[in-house]
A and B are shown apart, each in its own frame.
Chain A
Amino acid sequence: MKTLAFASRNSKEILRDRLNLTFGIGFPVVLLLLLTMIQSNIPVVLFSIDKLTPGIAVFGLSFISLFSGLLIAKDRSSSLMLRLFTAPLTSSDFIFGYTLPLLPMAILQVAVCFAVAFFLGLGVSINVVLAIIVLTPAAVLFIAIGLLCGSLFNEKQVGGVCGALLTNLSAWLSGTWFDLDLVGGAFKGVAGALPFVHTVKAGRAALSGNYSSIFPDLWWVIVYAVVIMVIAILVFTRKMNSDNT
């Protein structure tokens, strides 16, 4: 009950920030349209819609980190957090209260990407539903990154880390824009050690019906999501119990 009351307030705060919301859902859609237009005007296959859509969906999820990070950082800098910390809420009420409203938003964002892709030539199949399910752990991962950043940084810093750094990392190191084999070396090594490329690969495998290739890439995402969520919970709890929130 307490968690749901807190989650409801967080939903309203996010949904009423129209600028962030429009940008978060609109920007990935614009990219999808733009890159599809480029593809239609070049002779080589660079951005085929079935490869592009899971990548853009993952890129779009980085905005969810920005939403969650900003919400927590804003709360931490306000007196409202003092009031909330004096309420009988546990750290799990806080974490679930922040996560619950973001998860359906993240899934909706991924679904919007696929819905737009249908109009751009993506075939309608049950694999789209599977791809959305496969991308759900990635949604949890990006929410956890936002929770962690919001617990550690102030509003301005969250804007820099989640808004600039994370969006770029998730774009360049995901293999969405170009094949990582083309660069190779340390760049490919770093990309392989991070979860973004694995998320896109798992999503592409699900979408193409290549079910046996979903794992082990999905394991990377799940392990990253669990580890970062645990770290976020620990950091938030520590902040909650410290003298300076």
Chain B
Amino acid sequence: MIAIQTINLTKKYKGKIAVNSLNLTIEKGELFALLGLNGSGKTTTIKILSCLTKPTNGDAIILGNSIISNPIKVKELVNVSPQETAIAPNLTVRENLEFIAGIYGSGKKLSKQKAEDIISSFELSSITEEKAKTLSGGWQRRLSIAMALISEPQILFLDEPTLGLDVVARRELWSVIKRLKSKITIILTTHYLEEAESLADRIGIMAKGELKAIGTAYELISKTNTKRFEDAFIALAGEGGIQI
């Protein structure tokens, strides 16, 4: 079953094309990584698909709902963990989780129950009563992802989830993401190629707003006649990158 289908999705900012006629299909339960250099259009694509910004042209169908004609329904089905850690700093970890459950329509009792469940599955029990602003970067990022999951989204957008984290915190988050694989559809953007290689079922490479290539890491290496994924990425996303 198709989770996301984009149809000539285009976004222009003051005449400059950020995303150009993107046609992409992502299957339900897939972990899809979107890679590209800075300014390639990854984050803009995530923003459009999560209804944060409207496309200039084209449409995207999320689990059968158009992002243009039915954005509220789409918002109920998806959740986002933005690039920067998105938490309410003066609320405790538990309050942050209950708050997000509440704005997605859960009553007080259900919000408490959902928070308890996610505290347990994300191993947050040692910090539940601490204010979010006092946590380390790694814990804040883990909380941010837990907040994105508390609404039980069918599609989760992770925009550079491990950016700025140390190696240990990054590996811990990888194990969290791996546990989610196949349970929900995940769209991941990252600058860390090994992250995409390790986690993703398929990888899309964007450059200058266009989708240059799509496939498994192995397929992309093979198509570009390179030996390592990093070389394949440079061949596709770098200056004068090839189209396959």
A residues with a Cβ closer than 8 A to B are 1-2, 4-6, 8-9, 12-13, 16-17, 78-80, 82-90, 93, 241, 243
Contact = CB atoms under 8 A, between A and B. Distances in A.
Contacts of A86: 50-52, 75, 78-80
28 contacts: A1-B106, A2-B102, A2-B103, A2-B105, A4-B102, A5-B99, A5-B101, A5-B102, A5-B103, A6-B103, A8-B99, A9-B95, A12-B90, A13-B90, A78-B84, A79-B85, A82-B80, A83-B100, A83-B147, A86-B50, A86-B51, A86-B75, A86-B79, A87-B75, A88-B76, A88-B103, A241-B54, A243-B53
Nearest to B13: A243
B95 A87 contact: no
The DSSP consensus for interface residues of chain B is: loop
Contacts of A12: 90-91, 95
Contact of B104 (A4, A85, A87): A87
A82 B86 contact: yes
Interface of B: 13, 50-54, 72, 75-76, 78-80, 82-91, 95, 98-107, 111, 147-148, 151
A4 B101 CA distance: 12
A6 B51 CA distance: 20
A93 B100 CA distance: 14
The DSSP consensus for interface residues of chain A is: helix
Nearest 4 CB-CB pairings of A with B: A5-B102, A79-B86, A79-B84, A83-B86
A5 B78 contact: no
Most buried by A among B13, B75, B148: B75
Contacts, number: 79
Contacts of A1: 102, 105-107
B88 A9 contact: yes
Nearest to B75: A88
Contacts of A85: 52
B86 A16 contact: no
Nearest to B73: A88
A13 B76 CA distance: 25
Nearest to A84: B103
A88 B82 contact: no
Contact of B111 (A5, A6, A90): A5
A107 to B, nearest CB: 23
Contact of B82 (A5, A79, A87, A90): A79
Contacts of A78: 84, 86, 89
